[in-house]
Amino acid sequence: MFKINLHLIEYAINTILRSKTKNIFITTIITLLVFLLSSIFLISNSIKYELNQTVDSLPQIIVQNLKGGKSYDIKTKVANEILEIAGVADAIPRVWGYYYFQKAGVNFSLIGIDQYEMKYKNSLTKVAQSFNLEGESMVVGTGVQKTLQNNYYDKYFNFIKPDGGFKKIDIGGVFDGDTQLESNDVIVMSNDNLREILDMRSSRATDIVVKVNNPEEIPMIASKIKAKYPNMRVVTNEDLKISYANIFDYKSGIFLALSLIALFTFFIIIYDKASGLSSEEKKEIGILKSIGWKTDDVLKEKFIEGSIISLFAYMAGIILSFVFVYIFQAPGIRLIFEGFSVLKTTFELPFVFDMQTLSLIFFITVPIYIAATIVPSWRTATLDADEVIR
């Protein structure tokens, strides 16, 4: 039966404690590396998770008009033409855009809905804190409300129209705080009001959202639309899903580059360990061999040594990163993901447990360090003991 050799573990611990400073340094570096890598993966996993919760509520197909690479208004009659394609259940022209509130230096996303649609009334009740879309009113995200209040707009807001005039719209409701990540900068109002603010004729729309009867036909219908309107961009919900899966890849890359210092130090440690033992360490192995330790015993001891340091550092790094990301909400690192944004959300990163991420980080730290500890010892332990102790 396999019995754990506690004496061997004790010896390994003593060996580690003999070079206390060096080993504390190594453990700290590995902990730091695990902490940084794990934090960044946790943040990006949380954001991806957040996105994936709502991706199925998004439009199946979005059709946009492009002119010279810039998106342009689309004629609403295109919606009727798209409706004629077999398999299309609905094609709705959509009005949305951005509004730059210069005084606060903040960008709002404006979305138009048809205020008389029952389904919107019902949905809005569920997600807005108060609700009064009668007359010229809008429902705003919490970030918008705060910004407006800071600029003395408590009950209404004056939008500056493209012709220089003003459009006053009352604040009819505020979106629930739980939807902050999605709604923070959003203003929802009627299509008519929005058209006025964006100076868009009723025969035009920002884009067209298409619903299909059979979701499996989405790619086929998308290609039909593309064939019919080759200048237009057609985005399907699958495209969005793939886009979400790749989200923050380049930002993660930036951060990983910052982690380069820790990575670099880690690999220098590995190189230093793997390139050979000091004469003291070699002599010690020679002594152990000469008093009856087998090569296996020596390697077992080195394995235990490497495992203790790397496993301890790994666990400490993981625990610290969970605390940092989910309890302290990743101060500092978050800024990299948020990017430059005047209108900040106070969103909480949702907890996501991803075994794959933790395993990946485990495999790039622990076995490499253990191998770097064992390999040079193996080289020495397989020599004649006599040669080593002379």
Partner 1 sequence: MIKKTKILFLSFSILIIALILQLGYLFNTKSLTNTQIQKKQDFVSISQMPDLAISTTASYIRNRSLSDTFLIYKDDPTLREYFPSTFTYSQGIK
Partner 2 sequence: MIELKNITKIYEANKHNKVTALDNINLKFNEGELIVLKGSSGSGKSTILSLIAALSKPTSGEVIVDDKRISKLPDNFASLYRREHIGFIFQKYNLIPTLSVKENILLPLIPNNPDENECDFKLKTVLDKFNISHKKDSIVKNLSGGEQQRVAISRALINDPKIIIADEPTANLDEKLSLDFCDILKNLKTQNKTIIVATHDPIFFDLEFVDKIIEIKNGTII
Interface with partner 1 includes 228 (CB under 8 A)? no
Amino acid at 271: Y
Query: Quick check: helix, strand or coil at residue 329?
Result: coil
349 interacts with partner 1 by CB under 8 A: yes
Exposure string over 64-97, b if 16+ CB within 10 A, otherwise e: bbeeeeeeebbebebbeebeebeebeebbbbbbb
Phi and psi at residue 333, in whole multiples of 5°? -65, -35
- Which C-beta is closer to partner 1: that of 226 or that of 379? 226
Least separation in angstroms between residue 386's CB and partner 1 is 31
Q: Is 179 in the site for partner 2 (CB under 8 A)?
A: no
Q: Smallest gap, in angstroms, from Cβ of residue 77 to partner 1?
A: 20
Q: For residue 153, report the phi and psi dihedrals to the nearest 5 degrees.
A: -100, 95
Q: Which stretch binds partner 2 (CB under 8 A): 32-40, 193-201, 207-215, 290-298?
A: 290-298
Which of the listed partners (partner 2, partner 1, none) does 40 bind, with a CB threshold of 5 to 8 Å by partner kind?
A: none
Q: Which of 67, 89, 64 shows the shortest CA–CA distance to 78?
A: 64
What the block records as the tokens of 108 is: 């709002």
How far apart are CB 272 and partner 1 at their closest, in Å?
25
Scanning 28-36, 83-91, 215-223, 274-282 for contacts with partner 1 by CB under 8 A, the matching segment is 215-223
Rounded to the nearest whole angstrom, what is the least distance from the CB of residue 360 to partner 2 in the complex? Answer: 35
Site stretch for partner 2 (CB under 8 A), options 8-16, 71-79, 117-125, 326-334: 8-16
Range in contact with partner 2 (rule: CB under 8 A) among 144-152, 237-245, 253-261, 377-385: 377-385
387 binds partner 2 (CB under 8 A): yes
User: What letter represents residue 37's amino acid?
Assistant: L
Are 27 and 213 a contacting pair, CB within 8 Å? no
Q: How far is the CB of 108 from partner 1 (least distance, A)?
A: 8
Name which position in 202, 223, 278, 346 contacts partner 1 (CB under 8 A).
223
Asked whether position 222 contacts partner 1 by CB under 8 A, the answer is: yes
Taken in order 72, 75, 80, 81, the sign of the CA dihedral is negative
Strand ordering across the sheet containing 96-101: 96-101, 106-113, 186-190, 137-140, 166-174, 156-160
| Minimum CB distance to partner 1, residue 1 (Å) | 19
State the DSSP code for 73: -
| 2 counts as binding partner 2 under rule CB under 8 A | no
Q: Which of 157, 293, 337, 369 binds partner 2 (CB under 8 A)?
A: 293
Distance of CA 246 to the CA centre of its chain: 9
Question: Of residues 250-279, which lie at the interface with partner 1 (CB under 8 A)?
Answer: none
**Residue 339, token pair as written in the block:** 């990017």
Question: Of the two residues 17 and 355, which places its CB atom closer to partner 2 in the complex?
Answer: 17
Nearest 5°: phi and psi at 149?
-60, -40
- Binds partner 1 by CB under 8 A, chosen from 322, 362, 364, 371: 322
Q: Name every residue whose Cβ is closer than 8 Å to that of residue 242 and which is 6 or more positions away in sequence.
A: none
In degrees, rounded to 5, the angle at the alpha carbon of residue 185 between the alpha carbons of residues 183 and 189 is 80
Q: Does 246 contact partner 1 by CB under 8 A?
A: yes
385 binds, among partner 2, partner 1, none (CB under 5 to 8 A by kind): partner 2
Judged by CB under 8 A, the chain residues 248 through 287 that form the site for partner 2 are: 283-284, 286-287
The burial class, CB within 10 Å (0-12 / 13-18 / 19+), for 306 is buried
d(CA 112, CA 188): 6
113 sits near partner 1 (criterion: CB under 8 A): yes
Residue 384 lies near partner 2 (rule: CB under 8 A): yes
**Cβ closest to partner 2, residue 238 vs residue 297:** 297
Query: What's the distance, CA 270 to chain centroid?
Result: 30
**Among residues 50, 170, 239, 297, the one that binds partner 2 under rule CB under 8 A:** 297
81 binds, among partner 1, partner 2, none (CB under 5 to 8 A by kind): none
The full DSSP string for 207-257 is: EEEEEESSGGGHHHHHHHHHHH-TTEEEEEHHHHHHHHHTTTHHHHHHHHH
| Nearest-angstrom CA–CA distance, 289 and 90 | 80
User: Which of 123, 261, 294, 342: binder of partner 2 (CB under 8 A)?
Assistant: 294
Interface residues with partner 2 (CB under 8 A) are 3, 5-8, 11, 14, 18, 283-284, 286-297, 382, 384-387, 389
